[in-house]
Amino acid sequence: MSNPSPFGGRTARAFPSLPKGETVASFETYPEAQAAVDKLAKAAFPVKELAIVGTDLTSVERITGTLSWGRAAGAGALSGAWFGTFLGLLFFIFAPTGASFGILISAVLIGAGFGMIFSVVSYSVNRRRRDFTSVNQVLATRYAIIAESAHVDRARSVLGVDSPSPTAWRPPATAPTADPSSRPMSYGEATDAARKAAAAEAAGAAGTAARERPRYGEYAPAEETKAAQPVDTATSGRPSSDGDAATPPSER
């Protein structure tokens, strides 16, 4: 009654959204919530209106022990023996002969040998990175039984749970998605942006230089005119022999 449905994949696709309703009861472990649903089912309660929701999911890796050469070889031999037993039984069932029992024993031994070799080789490769055995689990802090508002009172009466003050349950709000324009640029985008900025700066510098240089028919700035005007050496004063200042030609 409490076992998962063999058509769990199809059922999961039929309910793409999280359930909505009120909390009937909350438990610390999943077996307690499972037992409560079993109790409601035995009381002819419409269990199709219920859902068990686990909150605050946590990934837990439990260390079961250290891994050694002997343990790796034993585990590999055991798994290989099971595989050999399966193949031997198939041969024993579909091709029965007088030597079928001997073939079954041979298949078990061969499977155990290959499994041991494969496990030892795998351990020799990975022992420096992982030298222990563990079991991974995904656990929730609380398991709540959610039901539609029309069935909450009956479910609580069957379970003998008092009616607490607002127990409406809603799916947790999803976090707002980040604005695509505020995300950091990738390496290619940053390179393109730097190249465009350098090209724009070079174009601006070239335009500034072109504007500062006078064109044909335009007057140059006064500073440039004075700097470019040649000095007339014929009319310039010549120094006197006694070191006085040069005397203009008109005063001679």
Of the candidates 137, 158, 193, which is a domain's last residue?
137
Residue 223 domain-assigned (yes or no):
no
* Average pLDDT of the residues in 65-76: 86
> Could you tell me what percent of the chain has a pLDDT over 70?
63
Q: Based on the domain organization, do 115 and 128 belong to the same domain?
A: yes
Q: Based on the domain organization, do 76 and 118 belong to the same domain?
A: yes
Residue 251 has pLDDT above 50, yes or no: no
Q: Based on the domain organization, do 92 and 114 belong to the same domain?
A: yes
Residue 157 domain-assigned (yes or no):
yes
Of the candidates 127, 153, 169, which is a domain's last residue?
169
Q: Based on the domain organization, do 41 and 105 belong to the same domain?
A: no
Residue 178 domain-assigned (yes or no):
no
Q: Based on the domain organization, do 22 and 133 belong to the same domain?
A: no
Of the candidates 154, 169, 184, which is a domain's last residue?
169
With cut-offs at 50, 70 and 90, classify the pLDDT of residue 134.
confident
Residue 252 domain-assigned (yes or no):
no
Q: Based on the domain organization, do 52 and 162 belong to the same domain?
A: yes
The better pLDDT of the pair 107, 216 is held by 107
pTM of the model: 0.45
**Residue with structure tokens 């891994």?**
67
Q: Based on the domain organization, do 39 and 106 belong to the same domain?
A: no
- Measured torsion, CA atoms of residues 30, 32, 33, 36, in degrees rounded to the nearest 10: 160
pLDDT per position as a tens digit, 182-227:
556 555 676 777 778 888 887 776 666 555 555 555 555 555 555 4
In residues, how long is the chain? Answer: 252
Helix-helix angle 30-42:149-159, to 10 degrees? 100
Residue 251 domain-assigned (yes or no):
no
* Average pLDDT of the residues in 81-91: 88
Q: Based on the domain organization, do 103 and 152 belong to the same domain?
A: no
| Torsion over CA: 42, 39, 153, 11 (sign) | negative
Residue 78 domain-assigned (yes or no):
yes
Pairing of strands 50-55, 21-27: unpaired
Residue 158 has pLDDT above 50, yes or no: yes
Q: Based on the domain organization, do 117 and 82 belong to the same domain?
A: yes
Residue 248 domain-assigned (yes or no):
no
Q: Based on the domain organization, do 73 and 119 belong to the same domain?
A: yes
Coil, helix or strand at residue 204: helix
Q: Based on the domain organization, do 130 and 156 belong to the same domain?
A: no
Q: Based on the domain organization, do 41 and 75 belong to the same domain?
A: no
Beta bridge partners of 22: 147, 168
Q: Say which CATH number the domain at 157 has.
A: 3.30.70
* Average pLDDT of the residues in 123-130: 80
Summary mean pLDDT of the chain: 74
| Structural domains counted in the chain | 2
Q: Which domain holds residue 164?
A: 17-57+140-169
pLDDT for 246: 46
What's the CA gap between 161 and 152, in Å, rounded?
A: 10
Residue 184 domain-assigned (yes or no):
no
